[in-house]
Chains A and B, each alone.
Chain A
Amino acid sequence: MMNQRASAIALVLLLIAVALVAVGLGVGSTGFESILHAVDDPVAWQIVWNIRLPRTLGAWVAGALLGLAGAVAQGLFRNPLADPYLLGSASGASLGVALSLVLFGVSPFATQWLMRLGLTAGAFAGAVAGVLLTLLLAKGVQHTLRLLLAGVIVGVVLGAAKELIMLARPDFLQSMQSFMLGSTGYVGWSAFNIMLLTWLLCMGAAWLLSPVLDGLALGEATAASLGLPLARLRRALVAVLALATGAAVAQTGLVAFVGLAAPHLVRSVVKTSHGRLIGLSSLAGGVLLMAADILARWVIAPQELPVGVLTALLGGGYLLWLMHQRGLSRGVM
């Protein structure tokens, strides 16, 4: 009957998502009148259709990618504090953006390509490179602890490299900060399509790989004794993690907490195997980021808050409440 519960929760999350899309269409610099005028005013129509709709849907997909990545990370490392940025993807993406900004104007070739691909390509490449560097440092995926340690080291070193660039070019400071705190401001239809494709790919792969995560829950030695080819499957899971995180970070910047909070949110209402957990966590992440994005656009319109601040407040606040609840009933989280 846990499966029925899981299905019910999935349905609820989808319904909430649809409702939030409707709200999202009405929130922005002008508010609801844009929808009402959309029929006769081409600018209003463009605002609703070309700006708000892809942005709202984009927030959902980005959140879904992060929720998926978070569930995979927590299963892979068997640690409820794991989040998608553990393996150096966040610091790699930041460095990628910083380097893109610096390389602009260095040569006409660089300038041309940067204008075409924008900063998103730099962020994605940086994220993937960060994870590869971590894998290199950890010499493969065999030892979880070594992988985690390598991730921390890569994060610190790449972060320092980025800081050095910021020191040399303080004019980038604000641009970098807005990337670090996250925003769906520039998500259009093409960005949404890329993220959606990536999400479908990663969901499929993660679902295929989920039995490994269940086996790993019994301990690495037990999982090995059950005949699971751990190294190969773990590499595949790390690849899914890198791809999903990189795609989300490239389009919306570093959004905090969604990857960490979404799996916890799901686990607090239903206990289920990893296959369903990943799916539900993805849906929950989508709802979380979409809600935070709507608030970010609404609270000080026409100005915007960085969405990362709101996800931290919402996600962190929820986790705090959860800990308080559990602290009352049992001892440990």
Chain B
Amino acid sequence: MSIALSAQSIRASLGDVEVLHGIDLSLVAGRWTSIVGPNGAGKSTLLKVLAGLLPHSGTVTLLGQPLSSLPGRVRAQQLAWLGQNESSADDLTVWDVAMLGRLPHQPWLSSPSAADHAAVEQALRATQAWDWRARALGQLSGGERQRVLLARALAVQAQVLLMDEPLANLDPPHQTDWMGIVRALVAQGSTVVSVLHEVSIALQADDVVVMANGRVLHHGAAHHPATHTAVEQVFDGRISIHAVADQWVVLPRL
């Protein structure tokens, strides 16, 4: 059981305000971990720190190596990050956007190789975006665009995949598809970490990290009662978690 991603004594600030107050976390390889917590808990910030995108104090280790010692390209080949949509790439085609995910693997300015083509096709088929690969991003709906951005992250074929609100704009069938993709990746040995505010789906993961106010309150298996109690408590007892047909469901408690 190896550790894919670990964090020691992470402190991070946004502007002058400290947002993460000392996080220690170890994420096992080959599992899907979801991070839940109320708004402003620091979930997205933590994910960015784990991806090496924010300055922080403390250490992040990726697959046994300190993240800061890895050259950018090497890190990009091993860790893919999908953030909340801030793209302005309306003119690029779906295929072009997905191909951007291969940048870490391509020598500078080279044409896509056969491996690149295969990776892009696989990613686009997995998100069911292959049929409209020639369309421009700007012509797609919100949900379709999200699937393309997801395909871009999948095309990296990285061992560790960090995703922040990957289900934005996705309708239920495609949310299910996403879960299927994640389960398949994990089955192959990849590590997936997702920040989700859809708690029901978050509970489908292998492990759950519960965060509030810049600290980790609980880290445990998703099916464990202690995890459920922690989740209910972090939301001030305004939700309750129930078992329905083998799965855990979150209901509001009025």
Q: Report which A residues bind B (CB closer than 8 A).
A: 1-2, 78, 208, 211, 214-215, 217-222, 224-229, 267, 271-273, 277
Q: Report which B residues bind A (CB closer than 8 A).
A: 48, 51-53, 72-77, 79-83, 85-89, 91-93, 96-97, 100-101, 103-104, 108-109, 134, 136, 149, 152, 156
With a cutoff of 8 Å between Cβ atoms, the chain A residues found around residue B73 in the complex are: 227
B71 to chain A: closest residue by CB: A227
What is the CA–CA distance of A2 and B74 in the complex, to the nearest angstrom? 32
- Taking A211-B108, A215-B100 as contacts, is the C-beta distance between A221 and B83 under 8 angstroms? yes
What is the CA–CA distance of A107 and B158 in the complex, to the nearest angstrom? 66
- Taking A224-B53, A225-B53, A226-B104 as contacts, is the C-beta distance between A219 and B93 under 8 angstroms? no
What is the CA–CA distance of A302 and B91 in the complex, to the nearest angstrom? 44
* Contact present for B100 and A221 (CB under 8 Å): no
A229 to chain B: closest residue by CB: B72
What is the CA–CA distance of A116 and B91 in the complex, to the nearest angstrom? 47
Q: 15 A–B contact pairs at CB < 8 A?
A: A208-B108, A211-B109, A217-B88, A217-B92, A218-B149, A218-B152, A219-B85, A219-B87, A221-B81, A222-B81, A222-B82, A222-B86, A226-B76, A227-B73, A267-B91
What is the CA–CA distance of A120 and B79 in the complex, to the nearest angstrom? 50
In the complex, which of the residues B52, B75, B80, B97 contacts A218, with contact meaning CB atoms closer than 8 Å?
B97
Q: How far is the CB of B133 from chain A (nearest CB, A)?
A: 12
Q: How far is the CB of B47 from chain A (nearest CB, A)?
A: 10
What is the CA–CA distance of A268 and B103 in the complex, to the nearest angstrom? 27
What is the CA–CA distance of A219 and B79 in the complex, to the nearest angstrom? 17
What is the CA–CA distance of A78 and B89 in the complex, to the nearest angstrom? 9
With a cutoff of 8 Å between Cβ atoms, the chain A residues found around residue B108 in the complex are: 208, 211
In the complex, which of the residues B81, B100, B103, B134 contacts A1, with contact meaning CB atoms closer than 8 Å?
B134
What is the CA–CA distance of A166 and B31 in the complex, to the nearest angstrom? 70
Q: How far is the CB of B159 from chain A (nearest CB, A)?
A: 14
With a cutoff of 8 Å between Cβ atoms, the chain B residues found around residue A224 in the complex are: 53, 72
With a cutoff of 8 Å between Cβ atoms, the chain A residues found around residue B80 in the complex are: 225
What is the CA–CA distance of A331 and B81 in the complex, to the nearest angstrom? 32
In the complex, which of the residues A208, A215, A229, A271 contacts B109, with contact meaning CB atoms closer than 8 Å?
A208
What is the CA–CA distance of A208 and B101 in the complex, to the nearest angstrom? 19
* Contact present for A218 and B100 (CB under 8 Å): yes
What is the CA–CA distance of A259 and B81 in the complex, to the nearest angstrom? 34
Q: How far is the CB of A207 from chain B (nearest CB, A)?
A: 8
* Contact present for B93 and A2 (CB under 8 Å): yes
Q: How far is the CB of B158 from chain A (nearest CB, A)?
A: 10
With a cutoff of 8 Å between Cβ atoms, the chain B residues found around residue A217 in the complex are: 87-89, 92
B103 to chain A: closest residue by CB: A226
What is the CA–CA distance of A2 and B89 in the complex, to the nearest angstrom? 15
What is the CA–CA distance of A218 and B80 in the complex, to the nearest angstrom? 14
**Max chain B CB contacts within 10 Å: which of A208, A215, A225, A267?**
A225
A270 to chain B: closest residue by CB: B91
**Max chain B CB contacts within 10 Å: which of A214, A217, A222, A229?**
A222
With a cutoff of 8 Å between Cβ atoms, the chain B residues found around residue A225 in the complex are: 51-53, 76, 79-81, 83
- Taking A78-B88, A217-B88 as contacts, is the C-beta distance between A227 and B93 under 8 angstroms? no
Knowing that A214-B96, A217-B92, A227-B72 are A-B contacts, what are 4 other residue pairs whose CB atoms are under 8 Å apart, sorted by A's residue number? A222-B82, A224-B72, A226-B100, A271-B91
* Contact present for B104 and A219 (CB under 8 Å): no
With a cutoff of 8 Å between Cβ atoms, the chain A residues found around residue B51 in the complex are: 225
With a cutoff of 8 Å between Cβ atoms, the chain A residues found around residue B134 in the complex are: 1-2
With a cutoff of 8 Å between Cβ atoms, the chain B residues found around residue A226 in the complex are: 76, 100-101, 103-104, 156
Q: Top 9 closest A-B pairs, CB basis? A: A227-B76, A219-B86, A217-B89, A225-B81, A271-B91, A227-B72, A227-B73, A227-B104, A226-B103
With a cutoff of 8 Å between Cβ atoms, the chain B residues found around residue A208 in the complex are: 108-109
**Max chain B CB contacts within 10 Å: which of A1, A208, A227, A267?**
A227
In the complex, which of the residues A1, A218, A272 contacts B91, with contact meaning CB atoms closer than 8 Å?
A272
- Taking A218-B87, A221-B53 as contacts, is the C-beta distance between A227 and B96 under 8 angstroms? no
A230 to chain B: closest residue by CB: B72
* Contact present for A227 and B81 (CB under 8 Å): no
With a cutoff of 8 Å between Cβ atoms, the chain A residues found around residue B91 in the complex are: 267, 271-272, 277
**Max chain A CB contacts within 10 Å: which of B77, B103, B108?**
B103
* Contact present for B92 and A219 (CB under 8 Å): no
* Contact present for B53 and A271 (CB under 8 Å): no
B83 to chain A: closest residue by CB: A221
With a cutoff of 8 Å between Cβ atoms, the chain B residues found around residue A221 in the complex are: 48, 53, 81, 83, 86
B54 to chain A: closest residue by CB: A221
